[in-house]
Amino acid sequence: MEKEVHEQYEYARRRLRQKKVLYFHFVLFLLGSLFLFIANRFFGFGQGATQNWCIWGITIWLFLFILHFIKVYITDRFMNKKWEREQIDRLVALQQKRISQLESSINEENENKI
């Protein structure tokens, strides 16, 4: 029982860390976007380039943030250690079934030869 409690604690700690990093990424995204916008509009940074370069940078960063959000709240939520264990158990069971089928077919062949 103690092992299960420890696993639950570790899972909760790992999820909390993921969410904390995601929130930090969000704050960094907001501040970075604001900085890019101000640098482009008010300080004329990158005037030789296309006029809306900061919009492209913010859009790409937003896309990366959305991928991070999906990883934390969708992918890792459903595909956690429990899911991995279930998939491994299922694959091991399939392998054992196939091995037993092969062994039985080999035994039948050996009985037919004798």
Indicate the pLDDT class of residue 41, thresholds 50, 70 and 90.
Answer: confident
What is the DSSP secondary structure assignment for residue 71, as one 8-state letter?
I
Q: Cβ distance 43 to 93 under 8 Å?
A: no
Q: Is the pLDDT of residue 36 over 80?
A: yes
- pLDDT tens digits, one per residue of 79-102: 777 778 888 889 999 999 999 998
Q: Is the pLDDT of residue 49 over 70?
A: no
Q: Is the pLDDT of residue 76 over 70?
A: yes
